[in-house]
Amino acid sequence: MLIGGKNKINENLQKEIRDLQPVRLVDYKDFLKDRFPPSPYQPKIIFINLIDVGTCEVQILSKIKVDFKDSRTIALHFAEVPLMIKNTLAKGYDAYIPIFKFSEELRNIVSRLSITK
């Protein structure tokens, strides 16, 4: 699952993720209101585009920790500042990938988290 807005960046991210595992793009507002079609499988990884979700980040992460407690969460953002990454991970994410390095780091992160299809 990729949570964010419906935009070109997320469409491209979705295509790259799809090479590793099934993924669907869920608008963050729909996610918070449970207005998205159920899936026959529990996502192993949930990507959250922090650029899109803005101030709803805490609500989204809390909902994931309750409704998808066995899933791993990966934060996505433009920032590559170590302190910002550290602070983001401290919120409870399992990993962080800068969007500009997404292609390079996706497989490494998935491998490090021991997640496969």
Over residues 58-75, the pLDDT tens digits come to 999 999 999 999 999 999
Tokens, residue 103: 């292609």
Mean pLDDT of 36-50: 87
Full domain range(s) for residue 31: 2-76+83-112
pLDDT of residue 36: 83
In a domain? residue 17: yes
Amino acid, res. 33? K
Q: What percent of the chain has pLDDT over 70?
A: 97
Please report, for the domain that includes residue 91, its CATH number: 3.40.50.2300
The mean predicted confidence, pLDDT, of the chain is 90
The pair of three-digit structure tokens given for residue 110, joined into one six-digit string: 């998935």
Mean pLDDT of 68-95: 94
Give the whole-angstrom CA distance, residue 70 versus residue 63. Answer: 12
Q: What is the pLDDT of residue 73?
A: 96
Structure-block tokens of residue 100: 């500009």
pLDDT digits 0-9 by tens, 45-54: 999 999 999 9
Would you say residue 58 lies in a domain? yes
DSSP structure string for the chain: -EEE-SSHHHHHHHHHHHTTS---EEEHHHHHTT-S---SS--SEEEEEHHHHGGGHHHHHHHHHHHTTTSEEEEEES---HHHHHHHHHTT-SEEEEGGGHHHHHHHHHHHTT---
Q: Would you say residue 117 lies in a domain?
A: no
CA distance 105 to 117: 17
Q: Tally the domains of the chain.
A: 1
**pLDDT tens for residues 93-110?**
999 999 888 888 888 887
